[in-house]
């Protein structure tokens, strides 16, 4: 039956490649991916998927569903298609979307024999305000048995971990005054921000080594001879897991409150982007994918790429068994978020990545549907990780 998957993918691979190139040539930023979304949904609709646009009130999100009419698990493939400012698809989301679409269509062609359902989810704005967060919160995965996404990289890596992350803004309001003539009349909001940075730097000695706190001053005054009455700092705060991250965020909150007290400013704390939970790889599902990728790709498969970044797939992994592996584009050392990375997605190596990745995803979906034993092992691991 897996041979049929390969044959079905063979029939659509040229169209997938054209889609990949169109995405590369017309990059769209997060939550603005209107044409990118249409490329994905139009092709899925051609293959009898039912299309829902605007999932979780995100205009460029979608849910494409193919039902076999027979009992069986539901496999979800997640598509990303947002680009980055100036460097376009420098994270390879053009390949992510097309691999998921290709896998979904290929798997749908055999469902009438094996049962089950396949869903392709369009998930906008991974780089900024990831739609997978509200999708995880609002029940989009309630009827899903496993969720998979495959990310291009310099080399292939097994699915691993990511850091939980909060994006927090600290806005201080003071009182303006002439900095030379009447400084005593002013309350310096910028001093509050500086004290916040100093306090965070002192905190670094007393948190676990996995914690990352990095920020910028997005507003800090307009003129040197005017006491700044408004200043803003934005931080990403990260840790290995959500529980410990919440503890660190609370510590930073106290530092910010102390900074406001020191200067007499008032403080407003808010989240300027959605929070990402840590990625929990389902290793049973991951091993099934690894075995398939070894068959479809000639590139070596390295141990998990557990970096220090954060992904909204982490939120998905908290509610459904999930994996987020990486597939190589045959260029070791290639750096994400560069023009060179984007260009690699439309080379011959990029084409090979697209075909082998989509096939490995489709084959893994087939394995889950056709093996009740595998599905139960996946669910048992997920249940144990949730305890």
Instruction: Give the model confidence (pLDDT) of 216-268 as tens digits.
Output: 999 999 999 999 999 999 999 999 999 999 999 999 999 999 999 999 999 99
Confidence of residue 304 (pLDDT cuts 50, 70, 90): confident
Average pLDDT over residues 90-116: 97
Average pLDDT value for the chain: 97
* Tally: H helices and E strands in the chain: 12, 14
Residues contacting residue 91 through CB under 8 Å, at least 6 positions apart: 84, 127, 151, 336, 337, 341
Average pLDDT over residues 126-143: 96
Spatial contact of 116 and 317, defined as CB atoms under 8 Å apart = no
DSSP conformation class of 276: B
Residues of the chain above pLDDT 70, percent: 99
Average pLDDT over residues 206-217: 97
- Whose structure tokens read 């994996």? 323
Cα–Cα distance between 108 and 366 in angstroms, integer? 10
Confidence of residue 2 (pLDDT cuts 50, 70, 90): confident
- pLDDT of 336-370, one tens digit each? 999 999 999 999 999 999 999 999 999 999 999 99
Cα–Cα distance between 122 and 328 in angstroms, integer? 22
Confidence of residue 307 (pLDDT cuts 50, 70, 90): low
- pLDDT of 10-62, one tens digit each? 999 999 999 999 999 999 999 999 999 999 999 999 999 999 999 999 999 99
So what's the pLDDT on residue 368? 98
Whether pLDDT at 308 is above 80: no
Element (H, E) at 200: helix 189-203
So what's the pLDDT on residue 271? 97
So what's the pLDDT on residue 387? 62
Cα–Cα distance between 65 and 52 in angstroms, integer? 8
DSSP conformation class of 310: -
Cα–Cα distance between 93 and 135 in angstroms, integer? 19
Domains and CATH numbers, the chain: 2-162+276-386 (3.40.630.10), 164-271 (3.30.70.360)
Average pLDDT over residues 302-330: 92
- pLDDT of 324-336, one tens digit each? 999 999 999 999 9
So what's the pLDDT on residue 1? 74
Confidence of residue 386 (pLDDT cuts 50, 70, 90): confident
Average pLDDT over residues 271-298: 97
Strands (E), 87-163: 117-122, 146-148, 151-153, 156-157
Whether pLDDT at 372 is above 90: yes
Average pLDDT over residues 360-386: 97
Q: What number of residues does the chain have?
A: 387
Average pLDDT over residues 76-89: 98
Average pLDDT over residues 182-205: 97
Task: Report residue 170 CA to chain centroid gap.
Answer: 25
Whether pLDDT at 99 is above 90: yes
């Amino acid at each position: 039956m897996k041979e049929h998957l390969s044959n079905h993918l063979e029939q659509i691979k040229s169209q997938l490649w054209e889609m990949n190139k169109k995405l590369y040539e017309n990059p769209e930023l997060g939550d603005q991916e209107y044409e990118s979304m249409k490329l994905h949904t139009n092709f899925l609709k051609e293959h009898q998927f039912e299309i829902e646009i605007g999932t979780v009130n995100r205009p460029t999100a979608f849910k494409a569903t193919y039902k076999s009419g027979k009992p069986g698990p539901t496999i979800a493939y997640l598509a990303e298609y947002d680009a980055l400012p100036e460097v376009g698809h420098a994270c390879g989301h053009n390949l992510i979307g097309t691999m998921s679409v290709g896998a979904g269509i290929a798997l749908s062609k055999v469902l009438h024999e094996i049962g089950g359902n396949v869903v392709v989810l369009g998930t906008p704005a991974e780089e900024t305000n990831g739609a997978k967060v509200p999708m995880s919160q609002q029940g989009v995965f309630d009827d899903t048995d496993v969720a998979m996404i495959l990310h291009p990289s310099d080399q292939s890596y097994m699915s691993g971990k990511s850091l939980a992350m909060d994006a927090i803004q600290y806005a201080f309001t003071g009182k303006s005054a002439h900095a030379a003539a009447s400084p005593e009349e002013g309350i310096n909001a910028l001093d509050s921000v500086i004290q916040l940075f100093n306090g965070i730097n002192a905190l670094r000695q007393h948190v676990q080594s996995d914690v990352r706190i990095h920020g910028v001053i997005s507003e800090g005054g307009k003129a040197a001879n005017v006491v700044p009455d408004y200043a803003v700092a934005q931080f990403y705060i990260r840790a290995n897991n959500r529980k410990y991250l919440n503890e660190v965020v609370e510590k930073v909150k106290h530092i910010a409150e102390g900074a406001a007290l020191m200067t007499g400013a008032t403080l407003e704390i808010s989240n300027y982007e959605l929070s990402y939970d840590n990625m929990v790889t389902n290793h049973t599902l991951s091993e099934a994918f690894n075995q398939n990728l070894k068959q479809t790709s000639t590139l070596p498969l390295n141990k998990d790429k557990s970096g220090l970044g954060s992904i909204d797939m982490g939120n998905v992994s908290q509610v459904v068994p999930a994996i987020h592996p990486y597939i190589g584009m045959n260029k070791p050392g290639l750096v994400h978020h560069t023009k060179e990375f984007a260009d690699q997605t439309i080379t011959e190596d990029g084409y090979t990545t697209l075909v082998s990745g989509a096939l490995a995803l489709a084959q893994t979906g087939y394995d889950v549907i056709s093996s009740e034993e595998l599905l139960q092992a996946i669910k048992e691991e997920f249940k144990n990780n949730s305890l």
